[in-house]
Chain A
């Protein structure tokens, strides 16, 4: 069934490795930027709150393809942003894609986290403030650690969605799994086996992630 699969000709593992790299870098970036956004959205400073809210609404409601294509056409080709990788087109494409994924996925991280913040009783934040902790300390030491623990499962959803969303990077010619799939479909006549092959590839990536994080969610849950 899979005899069309010539690993000399098609770098299957290389393509999935790029997918994994896209996912990992974007996930780390989204987690950091999403946490900062969530902090902004609950902060007592009005301008930060407005910025956070506006950012989330704009990027969450823009199609991912549009964001990724804008990164390539707008940031790189028009504005000449090369992401510190002058000359190396592949690296530029990869980094631009990661930037786009972070911009988009962080909004979902932010909103998941914000719902987690709402699970932490207000009284605990008050008690922390009453001890003399500053806003950022209250957030960092008391609120966020508990918020994160309650949103591991929703964050797993975001991560799985991100893994699959990385296929959009094919739109700006990043050599990840979906790009290779397109090439293979063009060259080979075995449409269904090829689709199956890549579907299985993604399941191999996402299924363990989901199971692992589901287990983690139970383990770290805060007892009240």
Chain B
């Protein structure tokens, strides 16, 4: 993979603009009787890479999905770059356009080619010029290493390739922050690395990222901060070094002992 930045203004993003980009303030959410997010307070600074880990059912995916309101919240507030998240309508759509999202199951549009998938957002949402968008889309696809697949349909690609296209699709919108909801959980083991590599590169370029993952190696090497969730609460927040070598809470110690033993 080339060293050319994945984002246009990566250099500016990396500048010491240490303001808060995503702020979650006392966010609560219930699924029926299940209190899935309990009083979540989380601030993500510009250029920061936050990795959210925790046992399944701890609410980490839900947390990720509330940030662009794919899940509604019961109370509390979420602001992105100073704007609070609107409930519905155009305002919400505009805000979502600034938040890139990558899903566990890729979710590429099955009836459109890879190139069309990447071009769709900039053309339909940003109303940008088609030729420019196409040039940029091809560049992005090259950079995530699937440039030669541009005219194929998603079903013709491997899982790893599809996920890299999904990352390119999100990046085409030039988002302020990227959300990754277990991006490697649906992949065959030998395809995980090709996706993580793209994410590592993004992190190095200073993209603000929220990553829900089970990849502890990625958390260790790419994260600025690790958020450990259990039972709908943020149990521990620390640097990767602190968290993995010296977890404070018993819940985290228990979790790490189970996954790091082998």
Contact = CB atoms under 8 A, between A and B. Distances in A.
A127 B103 contact: yes
A44 B155 CA distance: 30
A130 B70 contact: yes
B70 A132 contact: no
Interface in B100-128: 100-101, 103, 105-111, 120-121, 124-125
B107 A126 contact: yes
Q: How large is the interface on A (under 10, 10 to 19, 20 to 34, 35 or more residues)?
A: 20 to 34
Contact of B125 (A123, A131, A146, A223): A131
Contacts of A149: 111
Contacts of B90: 134
A223 B155 contact: yes
Contacts of B173: 131-132
B191 to A, nearest CB: 18
Interface string B60-91: 00000000101000000000000000001010
Interface stretch (A29-37, A85-93, A137-145, A170-178): A137-145
A14 interface: no
A129 B109 contact: no
22 contacts: A121-B110, A123-B106, A127-B101, A127-B103, A128-B120, A129-B93, A130-B70, A130-B101, A131-B169, A132-B95, A132-B96, A132-B121, A133-B121, A133-B125, A134-B90, A137-B124, A222-B110, A222-B111, A223-B110, A223-B153, A223-B155, A224-B155
Interface of B: 68, 70, 88, 90, 93-101, 103, 105-111, 120-121, 124-125, 153, 155-156, 166, 169-170, 173
